[in-house]
Structure 1
Amino acid sequence: MIGLTDTPIDHAALVAAVSDPEHGGIATFIGTTRRESDERPVAALRYEAYDELAVTELRAIAAEAAGAWGARIAVVHRRGEVAVGEPSVAVAASARHRPAAFAACRYVIDELKARAPIWKQTVHADGGTTWIDGCTTDHAHVQGSTPHA
């Protein structure tokens, strides 16, 4: 189970996908939308991806982790709008022993963040938006009202 989705992430399905009677450890990571970013209230996050390339990169990252730690990997990332408290990304890794499962899980999320063509836009409660690269659109200002700090 490796891919992108427009629907809520099913954590149990990821764990089931990596379950193996030969593996004694399963590590998971779930990244959720925080209520605040840069001291501004957040309404949601929006994700866009270059789908084909993102999935290819996720598969490559999973294969690297599998090779390095003998792990089974599942990873799913959301596209579209993700509300506060909802998962944006989830990784599950199983391995013979817990240190390998933890290492594989951490490797996958760290490499995904560094390499996958998936872009995040913060939607602030005041209507403004901020892309992860720092590009901002302050809708409140554009509409003529006072910008929020």
Structure 2
Amino acid sequence: MESLALLRKMGGQFPLRCLNENRNFRFPQKALRPREFQEKNGKVVIQEILQQIFNIFNKNLTQAAWDRRSVETLQNGLHQQTEQLETCLHEKLLFSMLKLKKYFQRIRDFLKEKQYSLCAWETIRLEMGRCLLFIDQLMIRLQN
């Protein structure tokens, strides 16, 4: 996925000094994988995750030491993907959205608590990589 590659490119290696900031935000993976997962529901989940990632990377990036061009390209790509999915969807799933929104709220709370520090942003960059990998896996499941 292009977004995952851009995420990796924009920051490079995770700074060793930030290892103590690493946190488990408890991605609600089980809630997002119901047994009878319909294609429409998967698109809603993907759209919500992309929108939330876009929102997170659209605020207070002043202390993040990332390549600005890569950040802008990531933001543009996420925005385009979100809009494309939105046109496909007519109804929202309340099913898993609450857990997903709480997950992203924990991330926003962490950033605020850490005052949007460089290490906080690096921790979030790793976490968003996990989200994008989940989207990749979900898309493969939806195509099969």
Fold similarity call, TM over 0.5: no
Larger radius of gyration: 1
The structure where strand makes up a greater share of residues is: 1
Q: TM-score, normalised by structure 1?
A: 0.28
Q: Identify, as 1 or 2, the structure richer in helix.
A: 2
